[in-house]
Structure 1
Amino acid sequence: MTNSRSTIFFTLLLITLFLLSPPAFGDSNNNNNAFLTYTCSSYDNYTANTPYANNLKQALYQLTSTAPPSGFGLTSVGDDLQNQVNALALCRGDVSPTDCKTCIQVASNEIQQQCLNKKGGSIWYDFCFLKYSNIKFFGKIDNGFRLYMWNVQEAENPTVFNEQVKNLLTSLVEQVEVTPKLYVIGEKENEGSKKLYGLVQCTRDLSTAACKKCLTDAVAELPRCCDAKIGGRVIGGSCNFRYEIYPIVDAQK
């Protein structure tokens, strides 16, 4: 896909999300495992009952078992490189193993429908992220897709608020290097008695240095993504961040 086609698709996707689902994004009910988006990352096709199709089903099945206990799993299925399937699943750091497994199962079923017969795809929910490909991507920062989401409401003092958001997320990115799960949550005093809450996370196939770079690049998108918005997030294939003026996860309550 060319850069111009990617930009057009990305713009249309943002417009669709903005028109159809802004109320859901502002919902502070953290028990709602909302669907966020998906992308099919390969033009290569496979057909039913072929080695690739069978390897894909096995890889996704393995992830439903291996990922939930720790919140992360990756697998490669198939000795033949032409038909090898590489896949990973990541659950948000606070999600229980039970909810993690349920989310991965739902994601596995949905991505096979949305990316029917495609050899690569990614899907995001609030609780989990799942990705598969015929190309071995482990350990590499995925900059192929980035989604911006934001709360339509704007801060009363945009300049001060933007600086507070940047400071919070930057401090969380600094902490991620010493966190085994590559997942950090935090909060910061906002104007008056209000608080600002943040979350950063990477897929655990990345090194700590690569995770920090991925998140630093994502946070640099704040002016483009979420200028003066009271809530926002950037979601990618290797890392994501989110900030809100209400607790994002139960641990922040």
Structure 2
Amino acid sequence: MSCSRLLIPLYLLSISLLFQLGLAIDLDSYSIYCSQSSFLAGGPYNKNLNNLVRYLDSKTPLTGFGSGSQGLGQNRTYGLALCRGDINSRDCKACVDQASNEIQKVCKLKKEAIAWYDVCMLKYSNLSFLGKIDNKNWYFEESTNFWSNPGYFNKEVIQILSTLQKEAYVSPKMYAAGALEIGNSTTLYGLVQCTRDLSSANCNICLEEAIGAVTPYFHGSVGGKIWGGSCNVRYEIYPFFNA
């Protein structure tokens, strides 16, 4: 299969897609992970966590990524927030605001949590994780529709995601998105992204693991999301990101 069919950047797509005003962000679909370990309401960890979340909420929309820690010793909390590389600061703030509210409601008094939305993620922990690959926390979601030839389709998915991987891990945003023409008049859209606390090498490793899960988990499904604590991949047969 020739790589020349890979359309990166997206401006090589049709004019109708190029000039669309932007896709509306979805804040209704999300997944949240909560740990079992808890902290005392109103205690030092609670105060540090509240300060950290406020910090991430204010810092992240400026560049699309924020990370940091608050407190000392056993009451120290670490966190990050990441917005998808194609969205503007207004939509980034809206998503991080929503994530910070929901994560503290769903994971009330839990020391560790991750909230995944289509356009942002928020993560915090009492353990130092910044700069390290999180290969324990994953969320998988697949389309209920399937391609008639799953083997062929999965090869095309791996093709586009692997090509985007090579672009993302060396880019400042650690983000890449593009499209690939497959079959008869079908376009496959893909997106990959890492949290920017990772080194380029660790971003590459994380994406390699995520892409490697496509075939066993999404065999022939025409859409799939793999959201992790350190990187995310997604593919669809419709445009889901902005040019």
Q: TM-score range by the shorter chain?
A: 0.7 to 0.9
* TM-score, reference length from structure 1: 0.84
Alpha carbons 2:87, 2:242 under 8 Å: kept = no
User: What is residue 67 of structure 1 aligned with on the other side?
Assistant: 60
User: What is residue 166 of structure 2 aligned with on the other side?
Assistant: 174
Alpha carbons 1:39, 1:121 under 8 Å: kept = yes
Alpha carbons 1:199, 1:241 under 8 Å: kept = yes
Q: Which has the higher contact order (CA 8 A, sep 6+)?
A: 2
One-letter identity of the residue aligned with 1:192: N
User: What is residue 165 of structure 1 aligned with on the other side?
Assistant: 157
Query: 1:154 Cα shift?
Result: 0.8
* TM-score, reference length from structure 2: 0.88
User: What is residue 5 of structure 1 aligned with on the other side?
Assistant: none
RMSD: 1.2
Distance 1:31 1:60 in 2: 22
One-letter identity of the residue aligned with 1:76: S
SS of the residue aligned with 1:124?
strand
Distance 2:124 2:47 in 1: 13
> Alpha-carbon deviations, 1:45-97, whole Å to 9, x = none?
2112211111111000011111101100001111x211111110001111111
Unaligned runs of 5+ in 2: 1-22
Correspondence 1:188 to 2:180: yes
Unaligned runs of 5+ in 1: 1-28
Distance 1:37 1:193 in 2: 33
Distance 1:97 1:72 in 2: 10
The equivalent position to 2:202 in structure 1, one of 192, 202, 210, is: 210
The number of equivalent residue pairs is 221
Distance 2:114 2:123 in 1: 4
The equivalent position to 2:78 in structure 1, one of 64, 67, 86, is: 86
Correspondence 1:77 to 2:70: yes
Correspondence 1:106 to 2:119: no
Distance 1:82 1:150 in 2: 39
> Alpha-carbon deviations, 1:13-48, whole Å to 9, x = none?
xxxxxxxxxxxxxxxx6432333211113x332112
Query: % of aligned pairs identical?
Result: 44
Alpha carbons 2:169, 2:175 under 8 Å: kept = no
Query: 1:102 Cα shift?
Result: 1.6
